[in-house]
Chains A and B, each alone.
Chain A
Amino acid sequence: MRPFSYERASDVQRAVIGGRETRQGQTDAPVQFLAGGTTLIDLMKLDVLRPARVVDIKGLKAAHASIEATPQRLRLGALASMAATARHPGVLRDYPVIAESLQLAASAQLRNMATLGGNVLQRTRCPYYRDTSWAECNKRDPGSGCTALKSFNRNHAVLGVDDSCISQYPGDFAVALVALDAAVELTGPTGRRMIAFETLHRPPQGKPNVETTLMPGEVITAFEVPAGPWTRRSLYLKIRDRSSYEFALSSAAVALDLNGGAVRQARIGLGGMAYRPWRAKEAEALLVGRPLNEGNAMAAATAALAGARTHGGNDFKPELGRRTLVRALLQAAAMEA
């Protein structure tokens, strides 16, 4: 690991000052915030992230880790741990898709350490990004190329990719957030702003090294999820190579509002498939007003994966993604909610 200086920020103002040299997108930023450290320290050891300064923001827990559920919305402090959020009674009862996305992620130790803010900013697990002995990686070294395009790419993305990068967004929680129209609260040098969660992660657009729309110095302070009649009938289905402690090969976050057997409204997010947390609006639109049976679910899933682009090793993914979504929709329809 390269040398860095360490400092603690006890409140958000100090974090913003300490972090103002964080560059947009953060990948090559000279200053990194340290929350749970489960992405940051890992990637610093691998020499992928090379900050000169590390600003420890765990002191923000005192003011930014609470979880509040009101009839209008769920507000999650960005410093709340994955574990605390997954076991919160209000989240479990009214937003099961969020609790499950966290509970099915990582391990008990990692969920104790990791925060929600750090979680959504976790980096891809693409082996060519994580291993610096590969010279070609546009995310690490802009303009160098993409090794995965022509190499082992079994768990690389099929949606939202271009020729600059086919890496997959690996997180689970973000898939639930994007499905439920969540917003992110950012606190930065010019004050506070709310943005739609779906705009936090950028498409590659030839610049996969710029990963997010965060401005320099901005700290994620909270997530807000609007309440809706669909959040109770919601679930997160995760398909992976082993039954625990593994990233998704494919996953679906679904939330349904049913009127008898017919769908009044649907919310769908896909994981394990895409370059960034993925919302499947075309699939949602196809379900509205129709009974939720296997045929209609498959029609929606087909629309969701219609834009898939595969690269050999991941040719199996679109079919796995369709089947995952069909199963998730049928299970959600059968829930008692």
Chain B
Amino acid sequence: MSTTSPAADGPTRRRLFEAAAGLAAAPAIAQAAAPAPTVRKSGAVDVVLNVNGQDHPLTLDPRTTLLDALREHLHLTGSKKGCDQGQCGACTVHVDGERVLSCLTLAVAVQGAKVTTIEGLAGPNGAVHPMQQAFIDNDGFQCGYCTPGQIMSAVACVKEGHAGSDGEIAEYMSGNLCRCAAYPKIVAAIKQARGKMERG
């Protein structure tokens, strides 16, 4: 520890430790929550990731993002790395049914949650999801790099009830960038799939 004192700006370290000691009877943090991952001495973490309905035990460096765990460890390369900074949406997956960015999610933080990726959208007999079919029918892509993220986001957009009009779709899909600018066709695809998804 350095010799600089925080006293001028806040409580002293001693006071904090004393205060915290009163609370310290609690068990070690890593073991506290029921489904918490196990932290090894080396710092590596044993986790179980539930992806597309299947449990996958993995030992990960805590720095591993969910996106890297999917792509590099589980070889589910459908989710794409566009920016790796939360700005493009190419890495969109569902966690407990909600769309999120896997590049800003730590893999160790989703133990206990259900992850769904583009690979998990198809029906049990392999039939493509109505949203996947609609992207094909409407040419909702050119290079296709943003497409898995677009489709995962689009499925959530419809389920949230945010696909009522072209304007609403554009607003609620704005987190998914498409460098090929397939936007009008993506909107058309979502409108087609919307009807099919609502009919079930």
Contact = CB atoms under 8 A, between A and B. Distances in A.
Nearest to A13: B23
B6 interface: yes
A8 B85 contact: no
A216 B104 contact: no
A244 B171 contact: yes
Given A38-B86, A42-B86, A108-B99, A55 B175 contact: no
A37 B20 contact: no
A55 B30 CA distance: 9
A41 B65 contact: yes
B157 A10 contact: no
Contacts of B32: 8-11, 14
B108 to A, nearest CB: 5
Contact-residue bracket for chain B: 35 or more
Interface string B95-109: 000111100111011
Contacts of A112: 98-100
Contact of B20 (A9, A41, A217): A217
Interface in B98-133: 98-101, 104-106, 108-109
The CB with the most chain B CB atoms within 10 A, among A3, A13, A106, is that of: A13
B58 to A, nearest CB: 14
B11 A54 contact: no
Contacts of B99: 108-109, 112
A68 B4 CA distance: 43
A134 B19 CA distance: 40
Contacts of B15: 189-190
B175 A107 contact: yes
Given A56-B108, A109-B101, A110-B101, 11 more contacts: A9-B33, A10-B29, A24-B9, A41-B86, A41-B105, A56-B106, A107-B175, A113-B104, A210-B9, A216-B6, A244-B170
Contacts, number: 139
Interface string B165-180: 0000011111110000
Interface string A214-241: 0111000000000000000000000000
A110 B109 CA distance: 16
B175 A110 contact: yes
Contacts of B108: 6, 56
Interface of A: 1, 3-11, 13-14, 16-18, 20, 23-25, 34, 37-38, 41-42, 45-46, 54-56, 58-59, 83, 106-110, 112-113, 189-190, 210, 215-217, 244-245
Contacts of B153: 108-109
Given A37-B105, A108-B157, A109-B100, A8 B30 contact: yes
Contacts of A217: 16, 20
A213 to B, nearest CB: 9
Contact of A10 (B33, B86, B101): B33
B36 interface: yes
Interface in B1-55: 6, 9-11, 15-17, 19-20, 23-24, 26, 29-30, 32-33, 36-37, 39, 43, 45
